[in-house]
Amino acid sequence: MNAPELAQCRARLRALGLYALAAGDANTLAEPWVARLLDIEEPERRRRSLERRMSNARIGAFKPLVDFDWLWPRQIDRPLIEELFTLAFLEDATNLVFLGPNGVGKSMLAKNLTHHAVLQGHGARFVSASDMLHDLAAQDSSASLARRLRRYTQPRLLCIDELGYLAYDNRYADLLFEVITRRYLQRSTLITTNKPFAEWHEVFPNAACVVTLVDRLVHRSELITIDADSYRLKEATERAEQRKHSRPKPTAKNTHPTLENTP
């Protein structure tokens, strides 16, 4: 085993937490069982790590990106969205905001992006705005709130879905501000919303922190606007038409008397 191979072997062992073995001499590390151990343990660690990250992400069911109809929206920046899947935005903690009306695919795209980040080895979490804010507001002490905040501030990518569909009081605005502030310039946050920033005062009426919250969110961000009619409504209409045409046509009943019934 030459020097570069020895260094690589030690690095692989340290990555697995096998520090005592990594500190062993060259003769020990050259033993065939060491290479066999690495070949067995590394894939298993990767599998368990992926399983853990996928569980923590809480993405739920979603349609794959291949099913997205790029021709349906009147406005969508497909090159930008496809570029996001390189995950380069995570390197400088760029935030993403998907803006558009209900049913145009914002959540579908966000879930696909979150799933891709997990597959590429990043910690991520997908949560609706209402679930996150209710979860945080339910904490009954400063200590429990601090612990629960880590659930939303530690992932490399946090996706907050459906912000703008409900209105919240000042307490909820303060909690969202806390999440965004703790992630500011350190980790990327993806938000899907049906309201432009100028209308966020309707989501958090009378909250003093809204202007600062938006300022920190958009300081380093990409805004992806999707303008389209509801794709879910389109699919529902198409399914209704298919069911209508697939039903057997009713047969007309013979209302004329038969010979047997003729007087």
CB atoms within 10 A of CB 163: 22
Task: Give 162-179 as a DSSP string.
Answer: EETSS---HHHHHHHHHH
Domain presence at residue 227: yes
Question: How far, CA to CA in Å, does 135 sit from each of 57, 130, 140, 152, 210?
Answer: 16, 8, 11, 11, 20
CATH number for 143: 3.40.50.300
Domain presence at residue 201: yes
What is the C-alpha separation between 10 and 12, in angstroms, rounded? 5
Domain presence at residue 250: no
Domain presence at residue 69: yes
pTM for this entry: 0.81
What range does the domain containing 135 cover? 65-235
- CA torsion angle 192 197 201 202 (round to 10): -50
What is the C-alpha separation between 133 and 148, in angstroms, rounded? 11
Domain presence at residue 30: no
**pLDDT score of 55:** 95
Domain presence at residue 75: yes
**pLDDT score of 255:** 52
Domain presence at residue 152: yes
pLDDT one digit per residue (tens) for the chain, 263 residues: 788 888 988 998 998 888 898 898 888 888 889 888 898 888 888 888 899 999 999 999 999 999 999 999 999 999 999 999 999 999 999 999 999 999 999 999 999 999 999 999 999 999 999 999 999 999 999 999 999 999 999 999 999 999 999 999 999 999 999 999 999 999 999 999 999 999 999 999 988 899 999 999 999 999 999 999 988 787 777 777 778 777 777 665 555 555 444 44
Q: How many structural domains does the chain have?
A: 1
Contact between 126 and 59 (Cβ < 8 Å): yes
Tokens representing 149 are: 């905040």
